[in-house]
Amino acid sequence: MRSSKQGRLTWIVLLGLWGCGSEPEAEASAPDPRQDALPAAIVGEAGPLRGESVGYFSDDPAAQGYLSVPAGEGPFPAVILIHEWNGLVDRIRETADALADEGYVALAADLYSGRTGTNRDENIALMSGVQSNPEGNHRQPERRRGIPPGA
């Protein structure tokens, strides 16, 4: 019985040593520096815009989203981008284009009916206007507060 246990133990040790053999390991490939890089749209280095403006409220033609569609045959998965507090700016459009490059249909919504802010006070005014009437902001432009259209 003892030799049976010793035999099994010998096999376990031998298998363990064999698994730890000194075979050369595969060379580790150098990490791809693009994996850690920020997308060009985020750092302001994107190319020209490729999508198109699309309206989605017949009673508010100033509300123009941005639609970017991948090349090739669909169907494609889709994402909706909601802009930051300063509105639908080119960086968001460029991000939609970058997502289309990855195979997604990307719609960047416009919550401010074409208006954008350039500083903290303007951005707060834009947000306040939407927050004051979240259900019908696009239907009642006369009730919007903040920056007037075209400003």
Percent of the chain with pLDDT over 90: 44
pLDDT of residue 116: 94
Domain ranges of the chain: 39-116
What's the pLDDT band for 132 if we cut at 50, 70, 90? confident
Tens-place pLDDT, residues 30-70: 666 656 677 788 888 888 999 999 998 888 888 899 999 99
Bridge-based pairing of strands 78-82 and 105-109 is parallel
- The CA distance from 119 to 59, in Å, is 29
Tens-place pLDDT, residues 66-113: 999 999 998 999 999 999 999 999 999 999 999 999 999 999 999 888
Please return the burial class of 18, using the count of CB atoms within 10 Å of its CB with bins 0-12, 13-18 and 19+: exposed
Sorted by sequence, the CB contacts under 8 Å of residue 112 that are 6+ apart come out as: 87, 88, 126, 129, 130
